[in-house]
Structure 1
Amino acid sequence: MAHWLLIVGSLLVFASVTLKWMYFAFSRHPSGIELPLLRKMELVPHFSVLSYGVVGIAVLVIALVLLWRSATYLALCAVTVLVAMWLAVPCRLAFSQPSLLRRLTTETRELSVIRDFTKTYLPTDFGPTEKYNRFDIENLWDRFLAGCSFLGLGWYCFGAGSLLIGIYVTARLRPEERISAPVLAAIPTGVVIITLVPALIGQYYFNAACVAQAEGAKKEAITCYRRAMWFDRWRAEDVNAYAAIGELETLSVSSNDSPEKHISKAREFNEASEYDLAIFELARAAEWGGPAGLVARRESARTRVEYGIALYRGGGIGAAVTQWQQALVEDPLQHHAVGFFVARGNYDIGRYEAALGAINDVLNRTDDRPTRANAYSIAGDCYVKLGHDAEARNSYNHSLKEQMLVNFWAMSRLTGN
């Protein structure tokens, strides 16, 4: 009976490499062999030798070979590495990969923007009203919960399989080996501590900064904010932290210019819907370079997206497309929302070839079926305008394959209604 633990556990680990380890709201979901172990994940996931899936399979094979050679304790060491890798995924996502976590949460938030845009400006497709999670990630626990909410079936299979194999191997240890077996728990524990401690220190300084700011101790608050940003990467990429420092520097009547002051001023303009002035201030902040400059460029791209939507609503479609295209230049990760807007905007102003190019980019980068269905329908409309009826029918058929029952847009085009 105990052998079933090994068999089932091994099958789960092997199967996990082809399953999805993370679920993005818009982008393609990476599988185990596409989720990099060390480097950052790219916009479009692809096979990586140093991925969780490939390395996990290699470690599992080593563990099985060691079991076959009766080196049970060494096999348990290998299985412990598997467990450490499994725990590292949510910990790294929540505490040491802020750009990836921010991308996951941003896509979830901005997918609702795409849905609102399609309902307002595109032919109606009937279907259930979708609800989107809103993440409050101001503290470590919320960040951890948010990160775990995006984990996919592959991650769960990998963890379950590793634990089953660990139980099997532990049961086969000799009595003298079981005495030292608990020491191996230091491996996964160390992984958690290494990723968690800097974030904990950063959270401590961030809380201290908030308290100092509330008490009016401006210099102390600025110092604590900067220390929080030094320890915690999440704070170092958080535009709110830079805006808070800029506001404090302005209130302290500091004569020195700083990127934080420009970011704070841009935030005020953005809240007043003065997007052009906000973009100008963010451009001045970006000129300083460094982490603040990168944050300013990302915030500028986000502001341009909002500005483009406002222009589109007001009938300035050409200007809206220009803003969206510039947003892509400043921050390519904005592509999950902007590419779709660019495609529709180009169609509206008669740039059908450009619209088709933007649609191809969207289709290559998203797994969201409603978005893919609408993209194919826009492509079909473009082909109709270009006089390519066969390509148009093919696009509408692809749209129906993505979303059959509620796709009124593609159905009406194919039936001529």
Structure 2
Amino acid sequence: MKLTSRALLLADGAARFLMAHWLLIVGSILIFAAAALKWIYFAFSRHPVGYQLPLLAKLGHIPHFSILSYGVVGIALLTLVLFFIWRSATYLALSAVAVLIALWIAAPCQIAFTQPSLLSRLVVEPQELSIIRDFSKTYLPTDYGPTEEYPRKFELNTLWDRFLTAYSFFGLGWYCFGIGSLLIAIHLVTRLPAKERMNALKLSAVPVGVVIILLMPSLIGQYYFTKACIAQAQGAKEKAITFYRRAMWFDRWRAEDINIYAAIGDLKRVSPSSKDSPEAHISKARELKEATQYDLALFELARAAEWGGAVASVAKRESARTRVEFGTALYRGGGIGAAVTQWEQALAEDPLQPHEVSFLIGRGNYDLGRYQAALDALEDALRFSADRPTRANAYSIAGDCYARLGRDEEARSNYNRSLKEQMLVNFWAMSQLTGN
């Protein structure tokens, strides 16, 4: 009887504790879980989890553990919150939660407004992956496995467009982090006396201040960009160029936007007193690229890159993308060797070039009978890729390479890996394993 009554007392105490602190418990679990869940979804690259997404540094193509990551910093702040609650320092705990909420809100704002290279990666990868999809459907054995579709174009003209675009790539980890932080905040606010709750709301200035700090330079840049567009429409060429340059100075996204350079180039080319400029070469290159005169477009971009500075990196990045399209066009025309050369140059020219190009290089080298070179390129693609259809096809091509080299055991191993990546109606790998 004593044991039963003691068990009932413990159960009653546990139930009361859970009822009183369920928001805190659930919120804490969500924040801990967020560290191990995916925060950002790339179309091609590997998806970083909370402890891999750096708070200040740039995110690499292969995510790795970072001490100053959202997940690790979030857990550290949560530990601080729990310590303050244990010490009955509710207001200090709320201050730490305000920082947690600020981190949560800052994540998409950082990508949208202060990390143009990461936003560019997120936007470009679906476009590059669509090239892989079309290439695979046309030139590879039929594979009816499911593929995840991504939008090929994103609206990025306004700050709101950029924020929505960045937000659209966030995953479950980010949501868990935010919901957990809000639940803990609600728990702490309800524990405060009614008179102090309004004072606690003043802590909302922390996340608001973070957003303002991240947004302000881009907001000024947007102002000048709008004025530049208006001036260009009114025919005030010099004024438009001046405003475009101011927009680029304030907004890092504008400074890396090839369209801004092309717009300035358009204005300079029609000006009677225009001189040679990198923007004019970029403008001409865009015009030639649209006319599918890729070799001439690459020449103009090379001339723009010779000027050095920020425009050089932008020109090289555009040159790499042009080479990918040029290589694809050459492959379709039967110039496989020239296509592989263009793809390899694209990868060498721009280190930030999405590594799905390695998949194309691998297939091209296989067609040319360069099986070891194909395997090296496919290994690179597999190391960087998280896209299952691409990985399945890469393993199948690798299996074909090993089969051609007479290494049957390694060929079977790669076909099996292909099936693991894409088991549903993966006819390519199945037929090679069964000998049909």
TM class, shorter-chain normalised?
over 0.9
The answer to whether the aligner puts 1:310 opposite 2:329 as a matched pair is yes
* Mapped pair 1:67 → 2:85: yes
Q: How does 1:202-221 map to 2 (within 5 A)?
A: 202-221=221-240
Say whether 1:181 aligns with 2:194: no
Pairwise mapping of residues 143-292 of structure 1 onto structure 2 (< 5 A)? 143-175=162-194, 177-292=196-311
Alignment pair present for 1:415 and 2:434: yes
Percent identity for Structure 1 against Structure 2: 71
**Aligned partners of 1:332, 1:277: CA distance in 2, in Å?**
23
- Which one of 364, 372, 375 corresponds to residue 391 of structure 2? 372
Q: Distance in 1 between matches of 2:385 and 2:192?
A: 47
SS of structure 2 residue aligned to 1:42: coil
The residue type equivalent to 2:141 in the other structure is: P
Tell me if the contact between 1:107 and 1:336 (Cα under 8 Å) persists in the aligned partners: no
- Report the CA distance between 1:181 and its aligned residue: 1.2
Change in Cα spacing, 1:380 to 1:285, as seen in structure 2 (3 Å) is: same
Tell whether 2:49 aligns with 1:41. no
CA contact (8 A) 2:356 2:385 kept: no
Cα distance in structure 2, aligned partners of 1:259 and 1:207: 23
SS at structure 1 position matched to 2:64? coil
Match of 1:20 among 35, 38, 51: 38
Amino acid of the structure 2 residue aligned with 1:357: D
Provide, for residues 34-62 of structure 1, a one-character-per-residue CA deviation record: whole Å limited to 9, x for no partner: 00000111111110011001111101101
**Shift in alpha-carbon separation, 1:128–1:35, aligned structure 2, 3 A:** closer
Letter in 1 for 2:245: R
Aligned partners of 2:426 and 2:391: how far apart in 1? 11
Deviation, structure 1 residue 129: 7.0
SS across alignment from 1:335:
coil
Query: Is 2:323–2:343's contact at 8 Å kept on the other side of the alignment?
Result: yes
1:179 is displaced (CA, Å) by 4.0
Deviation at 1:252, TM superposition (A): 0.9
**2:122 alignment partner in structure 1:** 104
Deviation at 1:215, TM superposition (A): 1.1
Following the alignment from structure 1 to structure 2, what is the Cα–Cα distance between the partners of residues 54 and 323?
41
**Alignment-mate amino acid for residue 157 of structure 2:** E
Contact 2:43 2:150 in 1 (8 A): no
Matching of residues 336-415 of structure 1 within 5 Å: 336-415=355-434
Q: Which amino acid aligns with 1:99?
A: S
CA deviations 1:149-171 (Å, max 9, x no partner) are 10010000000000001111111
CA gap of 1:82–1:289, structure 2 versus 1, over 3 A, is same
SS in 1 for 2:355: helix
TM-score by length of 1: 0.98
Higher Rg: 2
Deviations 1:43-84 (A, max 9, x none): 111100110011111011011101101111001000000000
Check the 8 A contact 2:355/2:380 in 1, yes or no: no
Q: Which moved more, 1:24-33 or 1:133-142?
A: 133-142
- Please state if 1:331 is matched with 2:350: yes
1:52 to 2:70 alignment: yes
Shift of 1:235: 0.8
Residues 39-48 or 246-255, more deviating: 246-255
Q: How many residues align?
A: 417
Bigger CA drift: 68-77 or 203-212? 203-212
Could you tell me how far apart the structure 1 residues matched to 2:193 and 2:240 are?
A: 57
Q: Distance in 1 between matches of 2:21 and 2:273?
A: 70
Q: For 2:75 and 2:193, how far apart are their aligned partners in 1? A: 26
2:338: which partner in 1? Answer: 319
| Counterpart code for 2:222 | Q
Could you list the per-position Cα deviations for residues 298-350 of structure 1 after superposition, in whole angstroms to 9, with x for gaps in the alignment? 00000010111011111111111111111111112223321110110111111
Deviation string 1:83-131 (CA, Å, 9 cap, x unpaired) is 0000001111111111111111111122111100001111111245764
Moved more, 249-258 or 290-299: 249-258
Question: Per-residue displacement from partner, 1:131-190 (whole Å, max 9, x unpaired)?
Answer: 431311111111111111100100000000000011111112245543421221111001
Separation in structure 2 between the aligned mates of residue 324 and residue 160 of structure 1, nearest angstrom: 44
Preserved CA contact (<8 Å) 2:145 2:389: no
- Give the match's secondary structure for 1:332: coil
Structure 2 counterpart of 1:297, one-letter code: K
Instruction: State the AA in 2 paired with 1:373.
Output: A
Matches within 5 A, 1:81-96: 81-96=99-114
| Cα distance in 2, alignment partners of residues 147 and 131 from structure 1 | 17
